[in-house]
Chains A and B, each alone.
Chain A
Amino acid sequence: MADLTPDQVKHHVRIYVMVFVALAFLTIVTVAISYLDLGPIASVALALFVASIKGSLVACYFMHLIDEKITIYWTLLITVAMFMVLLFVPLSTLLDHTQY
């Protein structure tokens, strides 16, 4: 990242513009699919799927994740794992309620 030539930077800029167009398009898609009547599980899954694509584009290209080395990947991997635990394990205690 430190030693980029002007041509490399211009190449990056072209990618930024393409990502922007993709993100704008996917935003419209996000709103559009919310009008479809898919049932709760499918709507959630689809909405999160589209959001994940948008998020990945932002992370990989705007945040240059795609150019980074292993240290950042390890940090993010551990974080994402803990994030998933935080999101879904409390829920599972709720769903596995003892019925008397």
Chain B
Amino acid sequence: MDIPYTVKDRPDTGLYNGKLGVWLFLASEVMLFGGLFSAYIFLRTGVDTWPRGADILDVPLATLNTLFLITSSVTMVMSWASLKLKDLAKFKLYAGLTLLLACAFLVVKYFEYTHKFHVGLFPSTNTFLGIYFTMTGLHVLHIIGGIIVIFYFWMPGSKMWESDPERFTNRIEIVGLYWHFVDLVWIFLFPVLYLL
């Protein structure tokens, strides 16, 4: 006896277990970032003055980062589509591109952060910077987590393609859902912190 619906969809829900699991996990992540967005709203409304994001933060760099992440979302879903077309080489190409773009995002963030520290701007300097570093920091942790998982499936984990291709494809779909969510958070984080 095996646990049902690990690979095949359950008819009435149209889902296999892993996909439902990751959507539920993403629901909890919405509430996690929601807590921080709520904190941002609460703190900003509670004070008379609040700096303009564009005055302190680097908008062009962040715009570049936004484009990096959006592109990585496309390459991620393309890597899944490649598996659907039974093309492992294409999968590896697109997954590799996703990793590259994710690392590029991290590099940009590294430069952003170190520049801030260099000119004496720290999380403790004021509440705006505090919430900026915390929210983008948590987001960076999520990017790193995604990189680790995508790398695993790109390299050692891709062995599963030989033994159970359908299950492997589902795993990539699930990873993709997580990755798109990380992109989604940035889509909201970027205007809120940098532009408003």
Residues of A within 8 A of B (CB): 1-2, 4, 6, 9-10, 12-13, 16-17, 19-20, 23-24, 27, 30-31, 34, 43-44, 47-48, 50-51, 54-55, 58-59, 62-63, 68-72, 75-76, 78-80, 82-83, 86-88, 90-91, 94-95
Q: A55-B184, A71-B20, A72-B15 are in contact. Are A87 and B34 (CB under 8 A)?
A: yes
Task: For the complex, give the distance between the alpha carbons of A47 and B194 in Å.
Answer: 11
Chain A residues near B124 (CB-CB < 8 A): none
Asked if A95 and B196 make an inter-chain contact with CB atoms under 8 angstroms apart, the answer reads no
In Å, the complex CA distance between A76 and B71 comes to 25
Interface-lining segment among B101-109, B150-158, B175-183: B175-183
Extra 5 A-B pairs, beta carbons < 8 Å, given A10-B85, A16-B81, A72-B15: A34-B59, A47-B196, A58-B180, A75-B27, A94-B45
**How far, in whole Å, are A17 and B71 apart by their CA atoms in the complex?**
10
In the complex, the answer to whether B195 meets A87 with C-beta atoms within 8 Å is no
B14's partner among A6, A48, A58, A71 (CB-CB below 8 A) is A71
Taking residues whose C-beta sits less than 8 angstroms from the other chain, chain B's interface range is 35 or more
B45 and A95 form a contact (CB under 8 A):
yes
Whether B67 and A62, one on each chain, are in contact in the complex, defined by CB atoms closer than 8 angstroms, is no
Q: Which residue of B lies closest to A52 (CB)?
A: B188
Determine if B149 is an interface residue (Cβ-Cβ < 8 Å).
no
CA distance A79 to B184 in the complex (A): 15
Q: Tell me the smallest distance from the CB of B91 to a CB of chain A, in Å.
A: 13
Known: A72-B23, A90-B38, A95-B45. A13 touches B13 (CB 8 A): no
Verify if B137 is at the interface (C-beta below 8 Å from A).
Answer: no
Residues of B within 8 A of A76 (CB): 23, 27
Complex Cα gap A76–B181 (Å): 13
B 79-90 binary contact with A (CB < 8 Å = 1; else 0): 001001100000
B78 at the A interface (CB under 8 A): yes
Residues of B within 8 A of A34 (CB): 54, 59, 191, 195-196
Bits for B166-182, please: 1 = Cβ < 8 Å to A, else 0: 10000001001100110
Contact A30 B191 (CB under 8 A): yes
**Chain B residue at minimum C-beta to C-beta distance from A90:** B42
CA distance A19 to B188 in the complex (A): 17
